[in-house]
Amino acid sequence: MVNVLVIGSGGREHALSWKLSQSSKVDKVFTAPGNGGTENNISLNVDDLDGLAEFAQKNNCFTVVGPEVPLAAGIVDKFNQMNLKIFGPTKNAAQLESSKIWAKNFMKRNGIQTARFEIFDDPKKAKEYVKSLDYNVVVKADGLASGKGVIVCNTADEAIEAIDTILVKKTFGDAGNRIIVEERIDGIEASYIALCDGNTAIPMASSQDHKRIFDGDKGPNTGGMGAYSPTPIIDDILAKKIQDKIIDKTIQSMKSEGIIFKGFLYAGVMIRDNEPYVLEYNARMGDPECQPITMRMNFDLYDYFVASVDGTLSLMPQPLWKNQSSVCIVLASDGYPESFPKDEEITGFDLVPKNTMIFHAGTKKKDGKILSNGGRVLGVTALGDTLSSAISNAYAAAEKISWPHKYCRKDIGKKGLSYL
């Protein structure tokens, strides 16, 4: 038996910890730093690489990295040097996410379909370029900005403002030293996530996130306000196209450039005229996509993580998925993604049916109570025989949970229904 250390504190990490704790090979699951829902929390931050390595070594842990920050900081390289088993990509491989410019150039030189783009560090030149275009653009900060460094523009004036926000006002700090100005692609967005060992990429169940804060995909982008799996938007033909033209091509191109990509490879794709375009790569699982995907797993996730680390995924059977739909509704603090109140008591957990999972994100335990402690607070995740029944089950459970500044979108999953 082995112990597992899950690094992170979001809904994704709660879902991973929950699933991994069901493995017959896993003894204890620790989470660092964890949240009000995870057990065996270790008070080490995700960027405390030395502390985390020391803990993993002392406690005979197989480590699973949830968020991008420690990946970009090289946690996998560090653990590898110390002969500690860790699931996730190395710093070099994680550049697919940690530098959007690196990723765009990688796609360009390897013929992976993505939006046309130019790179700038001079605001004046960027503005002249925008004015010369006859299509709308998206302006992106190069580096990590918690999912917020992307501004989708409807007019040239908005693009000029976005250039000022990132390059002049430095709203995202050094992450915005350089920007990408790329063509806005209008289509349907979906998340395609595969588990990779450097050679083989096994697709996870398909899913779709809801990134904007308000119903009808209005308002600013967030980390994600809800997700469901599977999504009818990705049918078998499209899935094969994404697997061949994007996922496998990415893994093989990385390999030919001397980089072995192990871990979750997440392609955020926009589908236009039945063709997938990569909007972004993430070098990790999506949050909240992880929550509904994990709920549908009929296999031992720990075995697949080990096979990813060992490079033996090609020997593993195709993973089995519950034939049901799953929906995760994010309950957030009103005001997110800007400022929001914290430390409000959350009640109603005991009213939720046992087969519905309440994955915690921004919560903490204090004096036996659960308090809100972040923007995205809980992910209420339910199964159903159809997408429509999974939506009803999730919303019925979400209604039982209360705190003063609870906010959620009311239309999670609706985009999927319109494709059935």
**Are the C-beta atoms of 248 and 265 separated by less than 8 Å?**
no
Chain position carrying tokens 């049916």:
353
**Helix 123-132 and helix 156-163, axial crossing angle in degrees, nearest 10:** 170
Q: What CA dihedral angle connects 382, 384, 386 and 389, to 10 degrees?
A: -80
Q: CB-based contacts of 65: which residues, under 8 Å, 6+ apart? A: 7, 8, 71, 75, 76, 86, 87, 88, 263, 284
**Are the C-beta atoms of 87 and 130 separated by less than 8 Å?**
no
147 sits near ligand GLY (criterion: CB under 6 A): yes
375 sits near ligand GLY (criterion: CB under 6 A): no
Residue 54's region, left for phi above 0, alpha for psi from -120 to 50, else beta, is alpha
Q: Output b/e per residue, 95-120; b: 16+ Cβ within 10 A.
A: bbbbbbbebbebbeeeebbbbebbbb
Contacting range for ligand GLY; rule: CB under 6 A; set: 195-203, 284-292, 350-358, 377-385: 284-292
Alpha-carbon gap, residue 276 to 112, rounded angstroms: 10
- 286 is in the binding site of which of ligand AMP, ligand GLY, none (Cβ under 5 to 8 A by kind)? ligand GLY
Question: Looking at beta carbons only, is 78 or 415 nearer to ligand GLY?
Answer: 415
The first and second tokens of residue 167, run together, are 């390059």
Q: Find the shortest distance in angstroms from Cβ 25 to ligand AMP.
A: 35
Q: Find the shortest distance in angstroms from Cβ 147 to ligand GLY.
A: 5
Binding footprint of ligand GLY, residue count (CB under 6 A): 8
In this chain, which of 34, 143, 286, 374 binds ligand GLY, going by CB under 6 A? 286
Question: Looking at beta carbons only, is 101 or 160 nearer to ligand GLY?
Answer: 101
Question: Looking at beta carbons only, is 46 or 352 nearer to ligand GLY?
Answer: 46
Q: Find the shortest distance in angstroms from Cβ 417 to ligand AMP.
A: 20
189 sits near ligand GLY (criterion: CB under 6 A): no
Residues that bind ligand AMP (CB under 6 A): 115, 138, 140, 147, 150, 152, 182-185, 189, 211, 221, 268, 270, 279-280
- 337 is in the binding site of which of ligand GLY, ligand AMP, none (Cβ under 5 to 8 A by kind)? none
Alpha-carbon gap, residue 170 to 165, rounded angstroms: 6
Name the residue with the smallest CB distance to ligand GLY. Answer: 224
Q: Find the shortest distance in angstroms from Cβ 145 to ligand GLY.
A: 11
Interface residue list for ligand GLY (CB under 6 A): 147, 209, 223-224, 282, 286-287, 289
